[in-house]
């Protein structure tokens, strides 16, 4: 039961972090001035054309939350437990991959 509650909290925290503006991009504009943007990891994934990682995160988080809620409402079963554990681990791994990819991506402005 504790794993189910933690799974829900962790997946919500992942989405909060993915929507926070934690990156700052700077680029020289043709007029000579420097423009600055504050972007979230989701925005950086879109710029890098890797938004499929965000969709994968959504699917894994949804599976994790749904199985956690089922488990909290009393649905017991080995299959539900297995799906819950795989989706929690998968969601965490994809979150880490997203953070690594977005920290190493640099947008090009022409």
- Residue 107's SS3 state is coil
For each of the chain's 110 residues, which pLDDT tens digit applies? 888 999 999 999 999 999 999 988 888 888 888 888 889 999 988 888 888 999 999 999 999 999 999 999 988 889 999 999 999 999 999 999 999 999 887 665 54
Instruction: Give per-residue burial for 35-63: e unless 16+ CB within 10 Å, then b.
Output: eeeebbbbbbbebeeeeebbebbeebbeb
Helix, strand, coil percentages in the chain from 3-state DSSP, rounded to 5: 65, 10, 25
Cα–Cα distance between 87 and 2 in angstroms, integer? 16
């Amino acid at each position: 039961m504790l794993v189910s509650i933690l799974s829900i909290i962790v997946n919500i925290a992942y989405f909060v972090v993915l929507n926070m503006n934690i990156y700052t991009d700077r680029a020289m504009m043709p007029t000579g001035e420097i423009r600055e943007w504050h972007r979230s990891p989701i925005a950086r994934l879109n710029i890098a054309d890797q938004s499929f990682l965000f969709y994968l995160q959504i699917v894994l988080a949804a599976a994790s939350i749904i199985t956690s809620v089922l488990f909290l409402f009393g649905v017991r079963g080995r299959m539900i437990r297995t799906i819950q554990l795989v989706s929690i681990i998968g969601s965490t791994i994809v979150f880490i991959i997203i953070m690594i990819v977005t920290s190493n991506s640099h947008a090009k402005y022409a």
